Structure 1
């Protein structure tokens, strides 16, 4: 399986994602934001970080990078595109995913492990995954997912919510919401299910030395679904 990770000025999780993808069998290539063409890819990843220093709005400048035209064309043609944290912010800025990511509810940067519950397994990212609740890491200042009443109605009707923030037993409740996200949303799909954006970082949980291996389950399942 071929993957590509896009590196923007300010990306800081691109190498982490490269390590994770290669560990579980992807043949990964790093792609600079100013490139024009994507390599042949089964999966394109927009990694976490602080692209362009989060100036204007998080992800807004990165969404205008030269490579993004190819990423958008790839996604609109049915290609698998995954955005993690800042990558999620970039995806909403391009319009590939609905909604926006606002400043965290208490206006503080959050860096900690959280639990998330998988909501939709009818896609290549979570189909057949071993369990429902996972411990991942978050590190963001603008992870508060929000959208209009019309959009959230459509998102729910189309089963586009990928992940909810939850407790360790998978209970979705206000107390398990770290940033104020609407309906505890931690990740969403596009209508077709080929584009995934999520704030938690599975690539940071692929080894016991990194405090957990729930990310390993995610990546092993993903590559098996793409084969």
Structure 2
């Protein structure tokens, strides 16, 4: 069987594309570089929208990137079931593009936060979380200035009722996110966005744990139907 190919998008200002590609490779898949101005997903099996400061966070974090040509292809692909993972700035982009509900606002206290963060896996049934068990706690870094998840009451109720909160902060909320929400999923579980950085927790040499790798191995399990 040919290797699973996972696209990693680079926008002007992206910082974590190399780290995301390394995580993809570490999980056993083939990373494929995708450029923001292209309109070709190169036949990839999934897409990672990585962290950084796309377009300098001008206007609003993720707003300009959501209009990039490559994102039109991602939106179309997601409509057809393409798995998509948005990390930090990538989560902001997915919300701005309408692939996930709600928005990411300035942190409570208006400070940039960078620390190792405990998360609880609330939904282990998505394309990106199937390697975990519901209720499992993992530790991955968080680093953001506009990471406070916000949504109207109706949206929050729907997310909770439909089990679409993928990850929740535990041991302290780093940015004031509503309901301690660290990550959410689409209705079909194929699109996931989270503010913390699993690609920075794939080995203990460079991160606080190896637990972030589980998001990437989850995808391989989803796509191949086998445990990895």
TM-score (norm 2): 0.93
Residue in 2 that maps onto 1:146: 150
The SS at the match of 1:87 is helix
The residue that corresponds to 2:64 in the other structure is: 61
Change (3 A) 1:77 1:217: closer
**1:1-38 per-position Cα deviation (integer Å, ceiling 9, x unaligned):** 11100100000000000111011111111111000111
Structure 1: unaligned runs, 5 residues or longer: 168-175
Deviations 1:41-64 (A, max 9, x none): 221010000000000000000001
Count of matched residue positions in the alignment of Structure 1 and Structure 2? 219
2:181 paired residue number: 185
Q: Which runs of structure 2 are paired with 1:9-28 in the superposition (5 Å)?
A: 9-28=12-31
1:79 aligns with 2:87: no
1:120-135 equivalence runs, <5 A: 120-129=123-132, 132-135=136-139
RMSD: 1.2
Match of 1:207 in 2: 203
Q: CA deviation at 1:220?
A: 2.6
Residue ranges of structure 2 left out of the alignment (5+ in a row): none
1:135-193 Cα distance to aligned partner (Å, 9 max, x none) = 001110000000001111111121110000013xxxxxxxx111000000000011111
Q: 2:149·2:181 contact (CA, 8 Å) conserved in 1? A: yes
4+ runs of 1 displaced by more than 3 Å? none
Instruction: Report how far residue 128 of structure 1 moved.
Output: 4.0
